[in-house]
Structure formats: C-alpha cells, structure tokens
Structure 1
Amino acid sequence: MIVRYKKPYIMSGNTFYSSLLQEWTKGLLKKESLISVFTHIRDIPYAIVPDWNESEDIIRRMITENKGWCGPKHQLLSWMLEQLGFMTRYRYIPFRWQDQPIDYPESITILFPELPSSVHLCLEVFLTGEWKLIDATWDPLLKRAGFPVNTWDGVSDTIPAVCKITHEPNLTQISHDNQEVRITFVRRFNAWLESIREEEKV
C-alpha cells in the first residue's frame, strides 16, 4: 500500500525538534546548516520498524532510539529545511528490493520471488530556482555493502536510494501470504544491516 505522508505539522512549536535543529545548526551559515541537517539525519542507522504505532510520534522515537527508515527520516528533513526557509515536497519512487544492485545474503534472496513491491520516500527541495532531489536514506556504514550512501554539498541533487521500477505495479494489492513474506524480509534485512555495521566497526 502506498502511504501518502503528510507534512509533519505536529512538530511546529515543539521544543524537542526546535532544540534539535538549533543544536545541529548553531553557528553555521545557511548552506552549512543544510549540509549539517542532512548529514545528521542520513547518519541515523537505517532500519524498518513496522511495530511502531502510526498514532505515536515516530519521528521523535527515531531520534531517541537512533534508527529509522526513509519515511520518518525525510519527514524530519522536510520540516527542518522548511524551518531554514526552503520549500520542500515529497518524492515517491516505486521499487522492488530484488532489483537493487546489492549483494544480498541467501537468507534474503530466497524471499524475493514472493516479496511485494514497495514505495520509497525521499525529498525535493527548491534551491537556486529549481527542485533538487535529496535522499538521506542510507547511513555511511552500509557503503561497504554497496548501498548508495549520499554526501550532500547543500546545492546539487543526490542520487535516489533505490532504482525505480520501469512500470508501477498494483501496489495496493498485497496478499496475506505476501505480507508474511514482507515481515520476514524486514526482520532478516534489519539483522543483516546490523551485521554489516558491526563488521565495519572492527
């Protein structure tokens, strides 16, 4: 199912987020602030956490637990960039995990035949008179495994975190069986990413 994220208006006036923004941009010029905000959010370890309740403040939970996926990452990035005076809009990219140029372990690839398609959320920000694609999805320790980790200069486009599929499938129809496969995939994928980070730290 495609989740149409709303702009995180609940953060307006929230001292938690305002203090966080101030911490990440204190003493910096506008361009440096953009880069700092992007980098801090990108560096949050990527993890899909389906157990988080949609009714709770998952963006705050992402910060306090130091993990999160493309949705809350780019919601927070959107809010912070707008606080810095820039217009943003969400960009949705339909994709399949099995189409990504990643050397997955066999425990994951065996799930691909039944794994449903997904939708990636990233961001566009209006800079120098045009919309730029900004993607802060993958944290740096995943680079060794082939994930496209972005470094942003505060001006240019970054590359999307995923390769778009050439035709958008019917993403609203997910069978119960496929949903079980998705849950298994998420569990194994998160565990694999953690193992990559641990190897990188050694």
Structure 2
Amino acid sequence: MPYYEKRGLKTRAWARHVLTHERGTCTPKHTVLGCMYSLLGFDVRYLFYPMRWAAQQLDYPQHLLELARALPECNHENIQIRVEGKWVIVDATYDLPLARIGAHVTPTWDGIANCAVAVDCENVVVHDSFEQRTRYLVESKSSWTSADVDQYDRFCAGVNEWFTFRERGCPESLIRPGLDLVVRPQFGIPPDRGDSLGFRGSTRDAESNQRCATEIPENPESVADRGTVSAGP
C-alpha cells in the first residue's frame, strides 16, 4: 500500500481511510493493523519512535531536505504482536519500491521474525493500549506552533509528490545510483521494469476495502475493553 502523508486526528475512525483510499502513513496503517490483530485475538502493543525527518537516510531532493531540517521532532509508529509467546515488530510503513531511495523495507515477512523498523532513530516508547498510545501522541504534538504545523504541511505535500510510484513504481529519476543493482535482484525486479512489483494499491478491490473499513470500530475502548490488548511481560 503506497505511503501518503495525511494530517488528521489519529483515531481508529480516521485511520480507516487507508482502506478506502488505499494509501497512508505509518500511523493509520498500524492503527488499522493493530485493530485487526486485536480482533483476531492477538495481544498488541503500539510503539512510537521519536525521530527527525532530516536524520533519515533518504535521498531527499534538496528542497525537501531543507524543509525537513526545519521540522520539529516527529514520531514513527508501528506495532508489536505476540506470536507464540514472543513480541514481534510489524512495520508496514513503506512500499518496496521506496527501498531504491533509501527507505527501510521488509521484502518478505514470515509472520514470526521482526520487520525492519522504517526509520532511523535511537529510542522507542512502548504503549500497552490504544488509549495510552493516543494520549502520548496528543501530548507529543502539544508543543507544536502554528508555524510548525504549516511547515509540516508543506513537507507532507512535497513528500507525497516525491513518492510518485502508486501507478508505476518509484520513478527512475529518484533511484539512488548504485543501489538499483543491489535492490532489484533482491526483489526480483527485471532491469527494464521499474513497475514490475505491481504496487497499485492493496490487493482488495474497492468494494471489499469499504466493507472491511466498516468493521473497524470507531470507539477506541471497544477493543481494549474486551481484554484483547494486554501489557505482556
């Protein structure tokens, strides 16, 4: 599912747009994944990674790098699920084509090993419930000024334009020199087919996505109160 920055209230209801629009950032993607895993009976934890966009090892165009340097501290979000007594990191942030511009991706996942964390960072904050996670997210943005928000909106617009691979894969002009030869064989991408991964949104059709979206509860307590989200060891 393509990466797309969209600012908004980080609730479960808001996160459902990733199923109907078939694109999103780390927060809505992992909000939906956490809810779905909870509904399936898995224990879920929400992880936040304080990070700065300017510190990411992405091959930014110069104008985006300048915008990133002016941003305040942000957060990356993924989840952990308990599988056979072990906490496993699930990170579905970036599409595979973005590996060619330096993004951390997990080419294949067996459901047991940790996924690669999508960002470069030093710390992680673990939340045992969706409610705890939401309070932290609100508090972490409480110091943002209107200028910070405007700067972030400009950065988001630039990132969305830069990640123009939804229909045709990552543009050849954005491929990091030298990395192409490493990544393409790993992913089985023919040298002349930059779009061969076929990332045109999710594998569900629009009707199926809409039906799935309606099954995600809007009330954060509706899952946690059933005891399917636990603190773990």
Q: TM-score, normalised by structure 1?
A: 0.69
Does the CA contact (< 8 Å) of 1:96 and 1:165 recur in 2?
Answer: no
Picking from 71, 74, 77, the partner of 1:115 is 71
Picking from 127, 135, 146, the partner of 1:176 is 146
Which residue identity is paired with 1:182? Y
Does the CA contact (< 8 Å) of 2:12 and 2:32 recur in 1?
Answer: no
Partner of 1:156: 113
Report the Cα distance in structure 2 between the residues aligned to 1:55 and 1:180, rounded to whole angstroms: 21
Change (3 A) 1:48 1:129: same
- More relative contact order in 1 or in 2 (CA 8 Å, sep 6+)? 2
Higher helix share goes to which structure? 1
- Aligned residues: CA RMSD: 2.6
Which residue identity is paired with 1:158? C
Alignment of 1:1-202 (within 5 A): 44-50=1-7, 57-150=13-106, 151-165=108-122, 172-194=142-164, 197=169, 199=171, 200-201=194-195
Aligned with 1:131: secondary structure? strand
CA drift at 1:119: 0.8
Which residue identity is paired with 2:17? R
CA drift at 1:86: 1.4
Q: TM-score, normalised by structure 2?
A: 0.60
CA drift at 1:149: 1.2
Change (3 A) 1:77 1:145: same
> How many aligned positions are there?
157
Change (3 A) 1:159 1:198: closer
More off after superposition, 90-99 vs 58-67: 58-67
CA drift at 1:198: 5.1
Q: Where does structure 1 lack aligned partners over 5 or more consecutive residues? A: 1-43
Which residue identity is paired with 2:71? L
Partner deviation per Cα, 1:18-74 (whole Å, 9 max, x = no partner): xxxxxxxxxxxxxxxxxxxxxxxxxx1110112x56679333321111111111111
Q: Where does structure 2 lack aligned partners over 5 or more consecutive residues? A: 126-139, 172-193, 197-233
Does the CA contact (< 8 Å) of 2:88 and 2:113 recur in 1?
Answer: yes
